Chain A
Amino acid sequence: MDFPFPEYNLQYMLPEIFLFVWALVVISFDLLSKRNNGSTTGYLTLFGIAIAGLLLGLVGNGKGFGKMFINDNVAVFFKVIFLGAAFMAVGSSFGVMQKKIVNHRGEFYALLLMSTTGMMFLSSSQELLSIYLGLELTTIPLFAMAAFYKDDKLSVESGIKYFIIGAFSSALMVYGMSFLYGLTGSTDLAQMKVAFFKTHLQFGDMGIVMILALIMLAAGIGFKLALPPFHQWAPDVYEGAPTPVAAFLSVGSKGAGLIAFAKIFVDGLYAYHSPDMAPNDWGMLIGILAIAAMVLGNVLAIRQTNIKRMLAYSSIAQAGYIMIGMVALSASGIASVGFYLFIYLFANMGAFAAVAVFEDMTGSCQIKSYAGLARTSPFFSAVMAVFLLSLAGIPPLAGFLAKYYVFASVVDVAQRSADSSWMYWMVGIGLLTTVFALFYYANVIKVMFFSPETSPYKVEAPLPAKAVLAIGVIGVLLFGLYPEPILQFATGISSSLHFMP
């Protein structure tokens, strides 16, 4: 055997390399500046993320390191989302840095950058080993960041819970991957598809152990996505973790789970449904999970009194809506998933940033302490209301379009395929749950605007947090009225995943 060195093509992974190097720069700067000005470190991090975004725009599509790294439309799309999430999380963290995290600011930002690097690497991977490593590189810094208030019991608790759940889910995932490797003889997704067909021709089926592998993989990724029945950890972790970390978790790590899911199940195993299972059977399994997520998330969110817990349950429900787009298993379905995630980035990061600003002011996350806020800080309350209404899916805002495209893609598939009445049921239940969702989002708005007493607080946001809020509002409003560019960008995804027409 000879071992040729692969073509490195390092230029395609410039953004990742830059982010990693920048993480080291941030740590060194924080150490050299004697840890006394947190906001400079933060601005440095923001600058690095912006540069990485620029680099991402400059590098084209291509492959590097043999089959290990591929920069295609899916990868670029998700990388934009991850960089955006990191940017907004860092932007909303300045208040926290001033008050609570005094000692390890550089480490905090470096871990965040490394986690982002992991997500970007994950979205470029075409192979089980690099998917696994990408997920681990995403989550391992997040374990530490969730526990970053070292004297706060809630934060430490959320750290250990997230750690145990994360390690447990990757154990499940790896066990499932080992069977996939045994059955197909490869960890490369493209070769796996070929092997599925070969094995199918040779033996007539893939072997019953495939079910075990699929269940293990789905459970492992389900934990990361917080899909029921694997959702219990999410509210606790979101409540205890520092708010910018919770925000980053809700968009970044969810996106990471989603891309892993899309790569393994939609792209890699799509070949498997055609011979042995109809695509619908497989889609129905995801559909049941999605329905469970929508119903459970929205119903449980109603009773929450803590706004971070409420947003956690709402993010479980949002994951359900996203998975509906996956059910369609069509090009338009994947495009709608991408669009949804992009809008969700603005609305959810914005809502978490607003919560973070308010928490820095008052130290409270209870919904009732928002009472009468509209009288003292009308602008802030209006911004918060815009985010919540977009999450609920109210028409002029982008959240509505996102939900519309997801549901439309499923209806489109349902019309074309026979025996698809369950898809209509799913859409019906989904629409019904949005009504529940409106109830608890509107409750916060009611407390802010129509409460009789006047709030004792006047919200003053630091400059970067203001910028983040502005980005969020502009994103939600602009793409609600003018969605074409994002839609086009998202449609590009499906050309990189290999679908039947």
Chain B
Amino acid sequence: MEHQISSAFWVLSFVILTSAILLVSLKNVFHCALFMVLCLFSVAGIFILLDAEFLAAAQVLIYVGAVSILMIFAIMLTNNLTNRVIKQTNENGLVSLFVCLSFAVGAIMLISKTHSWNYRANELGHDNSLILGKYLMTEFMLPFEVISVLLLAAMIGAIALARKERS
């Protein structure tokens, strides 16, 4: 059973891959951050195609809204010359390129050769944000609590590290 691949998928994946490649190859870090926004925004589009509306919203809010702003702030705080063009890749670029290309080809081959997916007759329906919330409050309640501890720990750590000391 194959899902009808819409033209939206092709457009989105083209945008994702192009911006991802630009992200890892551009010289200016600031432009890279902008392409990261574009890339992650299109991933949110993919989520909508896959009936994960709530995730798409979370993706936009957290990645596009918070993380990328954080990145851009960090770039502005740390790069004394944002427009300075310096070499952004290190010397083992060719080896890495080979490794990653072979990884991509190998992974896609392995995926295409696998036939033992247990496809279900019905696909996941739309409008599952409500069910998602119910799952979070019942079955996945403990991980939900744990991640709040994790966020607190990350916050304490980040504040303790980034704070300038009065000497």
A contacts B directly in the complex (CB < 8 Å)? yes
Determine if A111 and B157 form an interchain contact, defined as CB atoms under 8 angstroms apart.
Answer: yes
Q: Is B147 engaged at the interface, CB distance under 8 Å to the other chain?
A: yes
B143 partner residues in chain A, CB cutoff 8 A: 68, 129-130, 133
Given contacts A107-B156, A111-B156, A140-B154, contact A209 B146 (CB under 8 A): no
Determine if A137 and B150 form an interchain contact, defined as CB atoms under 8 angstroms apart.
Answer: yes
Q: Is B74 engaged at the interface, CB distance under 8 Å to the other chain?
A: no
CA distance A140 to B74 in the complex (A): 19
Q: Is B115 engaged at the interface, CB distance under 8 Å to the other chain?
A: yes
Determine if A141 and B157 form an interchain contact, defined as CB atoms under 8 angstroms apart.
Answer: yes
Closest to A5 in B: B138
State which of B110, B140, B149, B157 has its C-beta within 8 Å of the C-beta of A208.
B110
B142 partner residues in chain A, CB cutoff 8 A: 64-65, 68-69, 130
State which of A103, A107, A148 has its C-beta within 8 Å of the C-beta of B165.
A103
Closest to B106 in A: A212
Q: Is B78 engaged at the interface, CB distance under 8 Å to the other chain?
A: no
Given contacts A107-B160, A211-B110, contact A150 B165 (CB under 8 A): yes
Q: Is B118 engaged at the interface, CB distance under 8 Å to the other chain?
A: yes
Total A residues in contact with B, Cβ cutoff 8 Å: 53
- Contact residues of B: prevailing secondary structure: helix
Interface size class of B (residues with CB under 8 A): 35 or more
> Considering the complex, which residues of chain B in the window 100-140 have a beta carbon less than 8 Å from any beta carbon of chain A?
106-107, 110-111, 113-118, 131, 134-135, 137-140
Given contacts A65-B141, A137-B149, contact A144 B115 (CB under 8 A): no
Determine if A130 and B114 form an interchain contact, defined as CB atoms under 8 angstroms apart.
Answer: no
Q: Is B158 engaged at the interface, CB distance under 8 Å to the other chain?
A: yes
A197 to chain B, nearest CB (A): 13
B163 partner residues in chain A, CB cutoff 8 A: 103-104
Determine if B160 and A144 form an interchain contact, defined as CB atoms under 8 angstroms apart.
Answer: yes
B157 partner residues in chain A, CB cutoff 8 A: 107, 111, 140-141, 143-145
Determine if A207 and B116 form an interchain contact, defined as CB atoms under 8 angstroms apart.
Answer: yes
B111 partner residues in chain A, CB cutoff 8 A: 209, 212
Determine if A141 and B153 form an interchain contact, defined as CB atoms under 8 angstroms apart.
Answer: yes
Determine if A203 and B115 form an interchain contact, defined as CB atoms under 8 angstroms apart.
Answer: yes
A64 partner residues in chain B, CB cutoff 8 A: 142
CA distance A4 to B146 in the complex (A): 20
Q: Is A66 engaged at the interface, CB distance under 8 Å to the other chain?
A: yes
Determine if B138 and A212 form an interchain contact, defined as CB atoms under 8 angstroms apart.
Answer: no
Closest to A8 in B: B141
Closest to A144 in B: B157
Given contacts A6-B139, A111-B157, contact A199 B116 (CB under 8 A): yes
Residue ranges of B at the interface with A (Cβ–Cβ < 8 Å): 106-107, 110-111, 113-118, 131, 134-135, 137-143, 146-147, 149-150, 152-154, 156-161, 163, 165
Q: What would be 13 A-B contacts, judged by CB atoms less than 8 Å apart?
A: A3-B135, A3-B138, A5-B138, A103-B165, A111-B160, A114-B152, A133-B143, A147-B161, A183-B114, A199-B116, A202-B118, A209-B113, A212-B107
Given A114-B149, A140-B153, 16 additional A-B pairs, CB 8 A: A20-B149, A69-B142, A103-B165, A108-B160, A111-B153, A115-B153, A129-B140, A140-B154, A140-B157, A183-B117, A199-B116, A202-B118, A203-B115, A203-B116, A207-B115, A212-B107
